[in-house]
Amino acid sequence: MSNSSPTLPTDRLPRLTELVDSWPLRWSLEVVTAPLRFVAFWVAVALPFLYLPLLAGGLQGQQATVFAGLLFVNATALLLGHEHGR
C-alpha cells in the first residue's frame, strides 16, 4: 500500500513539445498548436448553442445525423482545446 495519489494514464504520456528536441522545431510547433488550441477551445464552448434549435424542434430524419455530427465535432474540439490557457 502506498500513499501516492493515483495518476491517470495520460499523466504518464509526454507532451508533444517534450518529444521535440530542437528549439526551432519546438517553437514552430507551439506557433502552430497555440492558435489551434485557442480556436478548438472556443468552438467547444460555443458549439452547444447550436444544439438548442435542433433539440427544440425534435430530431427527425436528417436532423439526428446533424446532431450526432455536432456531438462528434464538439468532442473533438474539447480534446484539442483542453490545454488552452494552461
23-54 residues labelled b (16+ CB within 10 A) or e (exposed)? eeeeeeeeeeeeeebeebbebbeebeeeeeee
pLDDT in tens, 33-75: 888 899 999 999 999 998 888 888 888 888 888 889 999 999 9
67 in any annotated domain: yes
7 in any annotated domain: no
69 in any annotated domain: yes
5 in any annotated domain: no
11 in any annotated domain: no
10 in any annotated domain: no
Number of domains in the chain: 1
Residues 38 and 81: beta-carbon distance below 8 Å: yes
DSSP 26-40: HHHHHHHHHHHHHHH
- The more confident residue out of 31 and 70 is 70
Q: Show the domain range for 75.
A: 18-81
1 in any annotated domain: no
64 in any annotated domain: yes
Residue 49 DSSP one-character state: G
Residue 20 has pLDDT above 70, yes or no: no
